Structures are given as structure tokens and as C-alpha cells.
Amino acid sequence: MQVGSATQRSRWKPIKPLRISATVQALTAAFVLAAIPAATSAVSPSKPNEYDVKAAYLLNFGKFVRSSVPVAPHSSFEICTLGHDSMGSSLDALAANSTIDLLPVHVTHLPDISGARSCEIVFISATETDHLREDLAILGNADVLTVSDAPDFLQRGGMIQFVLVSNHVRFAVNLDAVNRTHLILSSELLRVASSVLGKPPTGELP
């Protein structure tokens, strides 16, 4: 394989301005799903449910996070899950034919947090609530975007938490946690968050 091919590209590109049109296009799928109320037992199973929405968001988060420093090249973009995998086949199906930064997306279901340092994104299920502090402590300041639907995830040091707002799936962001790493979130992503704790390092949206 020649150097410079898609599989040799860095999994995290240094931060550079994102065009609004590109951002809106990439987030459209998640926003359409998010506009649909979270599923209840009365909703047809053919309609996107709460976990379909979360899976779409999780995949799209990867398109709006960058590293402020160069990193080693990798052959895939790793999205990992820890704990009870409520998104299950929804995330696997969405990732199957998806790419981020020209890298194929690969989903890994972790048995424990120790393997998460090799992931770009790790979703920590609410079933891990009793172990959250320990899990986040093990990750430390690793350049891994942490996402969860566990209560008080942001207050415990997580980066992005799924929340229900008027029965719609949204997400909140803890920039203080993000700022302890080399990760930088796109300003467009921050603008559509239901709430944002903290400020970007420069005091302005990247």
C-alpha cells in the first residue's frame, strides 16, 4: 500500500475551519431523527426509536471533533461501546458503509474500559453508572471523546451526555472535560447542543 492512501491517513486531523454547509449536510441525518419523539411502546417499530437517534448522533459526532496535535495514522475510525449496548444493531448498521476522514468506521464492543484508549469515541452505557468515575479515571486525559446517557455524566467528568428534551433526544457538552485533552469540537456542533458547560480554550468558538 502506498503511503498517503486513505488507510494511512491520520485518524485525527489538526483543527481547521469547517464550512457551515459541510457541517449542516453531515448532521442532517441525526437532526431528522432527533426531531422525532423518543419511541414508546405505542410507536410503530418501523419508525426510528430513541436508540436509533443516539446511534446517528454518535456516528456524526466523529465528523466534528479534531485534534490540535498530529497523531499516528490508523486504518479505521474506531467507535467503541461499553456496558449494555442499547444501540446494538442500529449503530452497526449505520457504521457499516460510513467513513470519517476517509477512514472506514469500525464499531467495537468493549468488555471493559481498558481497551478504550485506542478508540476515537467511546459510548459508556448508563449500566456503567456505578463504575463511571473509575472508567473516566482510567481514561484520564486520553484523546478519546466520551459519550454517555448516564445521569450526571457531565458532572462526573464526561464530555457529551444524551438527554431528553420535550421527549426528543438531544445532547449536552462539557467543554471543561474536552479541554483537558487535545480534542477540539466544531463550533457548529456546539451551537446545536442543548447546553454547553465551560468555554473553548481560546474563549471563542473554534
The per-residue pLDDT for range 118-132, each reduced to its tens digit, is: 999 999 999 999 999
CA distance readout (Å), 185 to 63, 117, 145, 199 = 9, 19, 10, 11
The CA distance from 19 to 130, in Å, is 40
Cα–Cα distance, 56 to 105 (Å, whole number): 13
Q: CB of 58 within 8 A of CB of 162?
A: no
Question: Residue 133's pLDDT is what?
Answer: 92
Count of Cβ atoms closer than 10 Å to residue 195 Cβ: 13
Mean pLDDT, residues 39-54 taken together: 66
**pLDDT given at position 41:** 39
73 beta partners: 10
State the average pLDDT over residues 171-184: 95
pTM above 0.85, yes or no: no
The DSSP letter of residue 143 is S
Residues 6+ apart with CB under 8 A from 92: 107
The domain 6-197 belongs to what CATH superfamily?
Answer: Response regulator (3.40.50.2300)
**What's the rounded Cα separation, in Å, for the pair 153 and 69?**
26
With a cut of 60, say whether residue 62 has pLDDT above it. Answer: yes
State the Cα angle at 180 between 54 and 199, rounded to 5°. Answer: 75
* 203 has a pLDDT exceeding 70: no
Specify the higher pLDDT residue, 202 or 106: 106
Of the two residues 43 and 98, the one the predictor is more confident about is 98
